[in-house]
Structure 1
């Protein structure tokens, strides 16, 4: 029987204030070697919400596996739309770009163009096979990961990432290799972090994610942090807090 240990961190609020964050949220961490789960809020870890741009992780795998793109250097043509409601007001990303660049700068329109080519039926197949999210793709537009009823929990995010690391999902080894290259966000002599941020604005709130895993020579730590903030509350550090809080928790667990 698989050994399972669960730890609960009690210092979320103190840690957040120490970094001038003071934002409600939750971090889930899984210690791969020790098979140990750590939750800052075990109940919230099971609550679902839109994955926002963290969906680009599985989206890239699906686009590769279905042949919608050949590799991460495939170029997606800017369709010429300028509707800020649809694409967000970020003029710097409104250009032809590779899928790799789109992943790195989180250019949502690129993955929306891929979404149109993939289609809902193929999404349903892969999402069910990967046990990713609640499977509700009823929203009738290609950006279902930012708006609508499609949701995933922080724990589910980590469970999915473990399977990505182990390559135990219905994708080719080549697709996994490409994804893992694209996901690298930090590399040092001691560890590599593969990750993706996400941020969406719905129901009067900001939802901010940072998900991924920290890989060392002797262990791997998987993580998912989700912050939720009332949009009327101004906090210019909301974006950076997703990473700050996660890194502090990893340091508390001696992962860094």
Structure 2
């Protein structure tokens, strides 16, 4: 009898001590998506209150290929493992002409992140290697990424890797706070590269991603990051979108990832 009472008491203590379920408020942001001819979802997390605001919460929990948003953890892992000595390290162009002219040149990795140079990060991936990715993705709690020898330089662009907006926000929240299990200097170096706009009122950090259209998948786009306000408030966000009509992207889709997010952030009085 005493044993049963003890077990019940222990269970009660565990329940009382359990972390509360995060509060999620749904908000209708459809007009912004319609403006850019896309469908998708948006998630915002306020660090001071722990509250989430979501448009299409169910979709925010759905996994998508991370595409070039993976350049954030990829750079961190490269720096931590020594595969990337620093962000000034030059990536040498292999001489192959590619669709995006800004990729067809030598460049430091600081620029490679900003212009989303896939070939540069494929070079880096081959230096990092499968075991290091598997080890550090687990340590970073960056879930859903499948790395194999056969997909070493494509796993974030194609295949079975998936990450949700909630998972993106959780990872970025810890990067913004510099609490990832990495050298703080590496976290600060990457954060510096993510600055997109700095004003007296706020600083906007972010990274786009684009999973290109294929025979089996539509275009899929990301914009993830955070806003640090001068008054000390911070919000982490993640947008994921697809073309509203047809599987292929147009100029509105490409420009819309950031523009749409900024319109939402202005409506929510973060910008």
Q: Which has the larger radius of gyration?
A: 2
Aligned pair 1:6/2:6, yes or no?
A: no
User: Contact (CA 8 Å) 1:131, 1:160: kept in 2 or not?
Assistant: yes
In structure 1, the residue corresponding to 2:220 is in which secondary structure?
strand
Residue 124 of structure 2: which of 93, 114, 117 is its match?
114
- RCO higher in structure (CA 8 A, sep ≥6): 1
Structure 2 vs 1, CA of residues 49 and 190 (structure 1 numbering), >3 Å: closer, same or farther? same
Q: How many residues align?
A: 248
**Hey, what's the Cα distance between the residues in 2 that align with 1:252 and 1:116?**
42
What is the alpha-carbon distance in structure 2 between the residues aligned to residue 57 and residue 175 of structure 1?
A: 11
The CA deviation string for residues 107-126 of structure 1, in whole angstroms up to 9 with x for no partner, is: 11111100000001111111
The 3-state SS of whatever aligns with 2:49 is coil
1:190 CA drift (Å): 0.8
SS of the equivalent of 2:182 reads coil
Does the Cα contact within 8 Å between 2:207 and 2:225 map onto a contact in 1?
yes
**TM-score for the superposition, normalised by structure 2:** 0.86
Distance 1:207 1:39, change over 3 A: same
Tell me the equivalent position of 2:107: 97
Query: Pairwise mapping of residues 1-256 of structure 1 onto structure 2 (< 5 A)?
Result: 4-10=22-28, 12-17=29-34, 20-82=35-97, 84=98, 89-138=99-148, 139-201=150-212, 202=214, 203-217=216-230, 218-229=232-243, 232=247, 235-256=250-271
- Structure 1: gaps of 5 or more residues: none
Work out the CA distance in 2 between the residues paired with 1:78 and 1:16.
Answer: 37
Residues 203, 229 of structure 2: 8 Å contact kept: yes
Contact 1:29 1:224 in 2 (8 A): yes
Cα drift, residue 4 of structure 1:
3.9
Could you tell me how far 1:221 is from its partner in structure 2? 0.8
CA RMSD across the alignment: 1.7
Structure 1 runs (4+) greater than 4 angstroms displaced: 230-234
Q: Which runs of 5+ in 2 are unaligned?
A: 1-18
Aligned equivalents of 1:4 and 1:121: distance in 2? 34
User: Displacement, 1:131?
Assistant: 1.6
Alpha-carbon offset, residue 25 of structure 1? 0.5
